[in-house]
């Protein structure tokens, strides 16, 4: 049985709640359930009550309703009924409040919409908002409606702001926000109560609730979802890329891998194939119902008490660029980070780490990073920021030796401290942890509170000690379990801090790495929220070692890239158990043709421990990437400047190709190479190719656009290059610092194209060069 209002099944409700309370910490929050509670008061957006077009500021009247059960023969539904308040003293409150609304074009493609639900509500100043990047925050004091190119019209029916890219129209009554493209086509619009028919209410319109339990508020913007519309984004989601028909919970969780609808890295941002995108500027949980409970509506159930939306006009590249101008673009990462990272769970000693480095060189497998996971300190999983003295007798000497052999070193850690950890007492004594209502700890572990500047200083001092020994970067593991019932130094509760805990955690770690290695700031993080792309990079979590784990990681990486993140990685072969050779072998090309490449998981991950033929396959893939490093480096720089992903859904590069919007098991690696992994055992697969000619990277064979069945080459994947591409290659090197940038070979891939073009960006260059031949 499914609730007609929120779309929650009875089974889901039983699993997710216990007497109305979220049952398990690992479960996502479903915010839609509050919007069918008969004890709540419902305020429906009704009409504009005055509006200053020059300032973009007015008042929106909200009509008060309650939900009443309604019998239709033997079926009970509900009906919104106008309500006269019973609040006391009645003269102190408004039955149908008029509350402020702001409309502000901040660029020709971006408009901001803000609405209050209470005259008493006060949000933290934008200039202190951790989701906004510094460049955007600096603009905020001067931001007004853009001048020049903005046309404003107003009459008794509506107000409209128009730029050359789109239009926002605010209808006075019935209140609507209407988004139009430059030609006047309606892209989407909000719903009003009069949009329901006379016999039944199928969904509530644009509204907010005041809870009967505690008077807290939550908002529910509701927009039209059109026939044929497709929605993308929302973070590193492992379900189908098109979110239409799905109910997406934007609450950070540990889904134990990329095979469920949970997300390590939800992002409150999405865009439509109709030419608009929306950033929900909130850190509170959101349930985005994209036609799951009503096929004609996108219902944004937000725990926040205020509506703050950024709306973007344009194609995917335009929208990603605008969105990342607000929340920040991924920084360009150091060259060595694009090389091979070798790891397992875990290397337990100095001797073992040095041997892995030796074996990589002995087997002539190009590599740049050795990662020590959970066992480099005294007790496995108990991080104390010190190498175990019995197993790492000379860590500084080890790090110097690895560096001399061309290896950077990465170390694992986490932000939780069990009572047996030697820092537990100090963290509690110095008050550096998240608190409960009584001032103690909400759980047994001490959870670092990164909203506390003193905690950040303490934490960064520990990391800095490792940096000074010669460590290059740190794995930023976990971060998904900040308590919802916690109290934070920021003054906020867990409802608002839980989702931005990963952002604060990412920031604290990235900044100390960058401080100690200027220009080489990089971390290896699992959790994220909007803005975390500024603190690259992130990986896809703990994938199953099977075809479903491969599919989940590929979908997750594509969706993550559609959410403003340029760089991303995953554990080749999966994580949870020793990877079967067949799946590991098919995963390799996907791993090496991602921005960042790591072998990690349950042992063995090292190819020479699997088989000689697998070692050869691993080496072939590594050599391919190192030869392609000039292409990788230039494409990475381009992505960092424009907010584009390296692992790129076809729809980003080919937005006018309707077929490209349907593909979710192949991708563009940068702008010129198409990769189709073998998702099942075999040596060929069906591939969709956008219009034009495509050249097989391994064989040189030319294919036409459309659906093709293509055999994989020696490297077990279909790898194609766009006609007219000029791909820079380097002579093979075993480490990135030995690449000879003076001997770059420009390889032309040409069928019908009149000329070939590409990008080139060398270490030390200030700008990207366009090359042609």
- Active-site residue list: 477, 480, 542
Residues whose CB falls within 8 Å of the CB of residue 240, separated by 6 or more in sequence, listed in order: 246, 555, 664
Q: Are 561 and 648 in contact (CB under 8 A)?
A: yes
Neighbours of 215 (CB within 10 A): 10
Residue 738: DSSP 8-state:
G
Tokens of 750: 């040409």
User: Can you tell me the distance from the alpha carbon of 614 to that of 365, in angstroms, rounded to the nearest whole number?
Assistant: 12
Residue closest to 616 by CA, chosen among 370, 367, 365: 365
Tokens of 44: 């429906």
Q: Are 619 and 363 in contact (CB under 8 A)?
A: yes
Cα torsion 236, 239, 240, 245: sign:
negative
Residue 329: DSSP 8-state:
P
Tokens of 514: 């960058």
Residue closest to 574 by CA, chosen among 524, 617, 526, 540: 540
User: Can you tell me the distance from the alpha carbon of 573 to that of 462, in angstroms, rounded to the nearest whole number?
Assistant: 33
Cα torsion 511, 517, 519, 520: sign:
negative
Cα torsion 540, 541, 547, 551: sign:
negative
Residues whose CB falls within 8 Å of the CB of residue 73, separated by 6 or more in sequence, listed in order: none
User: Can you tell me the distance from the alpha carbon of 313 to that of 329, in angstroms, rounded to the nearest whole number?
Assistant: 19
β-sheet bridge partners, residue 713: none
User: Can you tell me the distance from the alpha carbon of 304 to that of 282, in angstroms, rounded to the nearest whole number?
Assistant: 7
Give the H or E element holding residue 582. helix 581-592
User: Can you tell me the distance from the alpha carbon of 645 to that of 330, in angstroms, rounded to the nearest whole number?
Assistant: 9
Alpha helix (H) residue ranges in 23-120: none
Residues whose CB falls within 8 Å of the CB of residue 540, separated by 6 or more in sequence, listed in order: 236, 258, 264, 552, 553, 556, 557, 560, 568, 569, 570, 571
Tokens of 425: 């007492």
| Helices and strands: H and E segment counts in the chain | 14, 42
Q: Are 717 and 590 in contact (CB under 8 A)?
A: yes
Tokens of 155: 């009459």
Tokens of 768: 């990207």
Strands (E), 94-230: 98-107, 110-115, 151-154, 158-162, 166-171, 176-181, 186-189, 207-210, 217-220, 222-224
Strand 769-772 vs strand 757-760: parallel, antiparallel, or unpaired? Answer: antiparallel
β-sheet bridge partners, residue 276: 313
User: Can you tell me the distance from the alpha carbon of 370 to that of 352, in angstroms, rounded to the nearest whole number?
Assistant: 11
Neighbours of 125 (CB within 10 A): 9
């Amino acid at each position: 049985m499914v609730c007609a209002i929120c779309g929650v099944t009875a089974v889901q409700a039983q699993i997710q709640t216990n007497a109305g309370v979220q049952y398990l910490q690992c479960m996502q929050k479903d915010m839609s359930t509050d919007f069918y509670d008969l004890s709540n008061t419902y305020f429906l957006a009704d009409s504009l009550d005055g509006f200053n077009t020059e300032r973009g500021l007015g008042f929106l009247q909200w009509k008060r309703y309650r939900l009443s059960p309604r019998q239709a023969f033997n079926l009970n539904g509900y009906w919104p009924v106008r309500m006269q308040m019973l609040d006391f003293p009645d003269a102190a409150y408004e039955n149908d409040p008029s509350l402020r609304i702001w409309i502000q074009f901040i660029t020709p493609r971006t408009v901001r919409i803000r609405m209050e639900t209470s005259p008493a509500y006060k949000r933290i100043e934008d200039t202190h908002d951790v989701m906004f990047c510094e460049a955007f925050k600096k603009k905020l004091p001067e931001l007004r409606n853009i001048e020049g190119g903005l046309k404003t019209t107003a009459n008794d029916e509506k107000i409209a702001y128009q730029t050359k890219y789109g239009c926002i129209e605010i209808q006075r009554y019935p209140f609507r926000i209407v988004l139009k493209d430059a030609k006047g086509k309606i892209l989407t619009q909000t719903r009003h109560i009069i949009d329901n028919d006379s016999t039944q209410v199928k969904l509530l319109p644009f509204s907010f609730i005041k809870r009967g339990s505690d008077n807290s508020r939550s908002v529910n913007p509701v927009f039209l979802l059109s026939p044929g519309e497709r929605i993308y984004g929302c973070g590193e989601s492992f379900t189908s890329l098109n979110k239409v028909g799905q109910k997406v919970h934007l609450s950070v969780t540990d889904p134990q891998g990329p095979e469920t609808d949970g997300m390590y890295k939800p992002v409150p941002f999405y865009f439509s194939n109709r030419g608009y995108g929306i950033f929900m500027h909130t850190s509170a949980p959101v349930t985005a119902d994209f036609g799951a409970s009503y096929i004609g509506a996108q219902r944004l159930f937000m725990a926040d008490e205020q509506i703050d939306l950024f709306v973007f006009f344009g194609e995917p590249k335009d929208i990603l660029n605008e969105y990342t101008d607000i929340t920040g673009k991924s920084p360009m990462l150091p060259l060595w980070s694009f090389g091979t990272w070798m790891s397992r769970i875990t290397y337990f000693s100095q001797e073992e780490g040095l041997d892995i480095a030796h074996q990589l060189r002995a087997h002539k497998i190009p590599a740049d990073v050795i990662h020590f996971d959970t066992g480099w300190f005294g007790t496995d999983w108990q991080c104390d920021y010190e190498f175990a003295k019995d197993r790492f007798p000379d860590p500084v000497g080890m790090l110097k030796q690895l560096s001399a052999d061309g290896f950077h070193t990465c170390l694992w850690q986490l932000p939780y401290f069990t009572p047996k950890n030697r820092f537990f007492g100090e963290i509690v004594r110095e008050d550096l942890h998240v608190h409960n209502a009584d001032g103690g700890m909400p759980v047994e572990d001490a959870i670092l509170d990164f909203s506390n500047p003193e905690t950040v200083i303490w934490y960064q001092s520990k990391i800095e000690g490792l940096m000074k020994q010669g460590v290059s970067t740190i794995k930023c593991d976990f971060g998904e379990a900040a308590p919802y019932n916690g109290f934070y130094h920021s003054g906020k509760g867990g409802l608002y801090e839980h989702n931005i805990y990963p952002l604060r955690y990412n920031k604290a770690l990235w900044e100390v790495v960058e401080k100690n290695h200027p220009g080489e700031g990089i971390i290896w993080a699992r959790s994220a929220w909007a803005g975390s792309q500024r603190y690259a990079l992130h990986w896809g979590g703990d994938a199953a070692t099977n075809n479903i784990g491969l599919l989940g990681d590929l979908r997750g990486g594509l969706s993550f890239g559609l959410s403003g993140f340029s760089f991303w990685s995953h554990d080749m072969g999966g994580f949870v158990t020793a990877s079967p050779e067949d799946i590991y072998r098919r995963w390799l090309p996907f791993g090496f043709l991602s921005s960042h490449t790591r072998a990690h998981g349950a042992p063995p991950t090292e190819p020479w421990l699997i088989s000689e033929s697998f070692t050869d396959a691993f080496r072939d893939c590594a050599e391919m990437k190192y030869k392609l490093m000039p292409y990788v480096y230039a494409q990475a720089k381009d992505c960092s400047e424009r907010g584009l992903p390296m692992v790129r859904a076809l729809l980003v590069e080919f937005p006018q190709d309707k077929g490209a919007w349907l593909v979710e098991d192949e991708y563009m690696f940068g702008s010129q190479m198409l990769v189709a992994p073998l998702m099942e055992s075999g040596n060929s697969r069906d591939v969709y190719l956008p219009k034009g000619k495509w050249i097989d990277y391994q064989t040189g064979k030319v294919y036409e656009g459309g659906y093709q069945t293509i055999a994989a080459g020696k490297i077990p994947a279909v790898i194609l290059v766009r006609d007219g591409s000029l791909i820079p290659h380097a002579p093979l090197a075993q480490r990135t610092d030995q690449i000879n940038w003076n001997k770059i070979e420009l390889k032309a891939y040409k069928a019908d194209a009149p000329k070939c073009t590409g990008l080139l960006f060398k270490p030390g260059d200030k700008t990207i060069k366009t090359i042609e031949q």
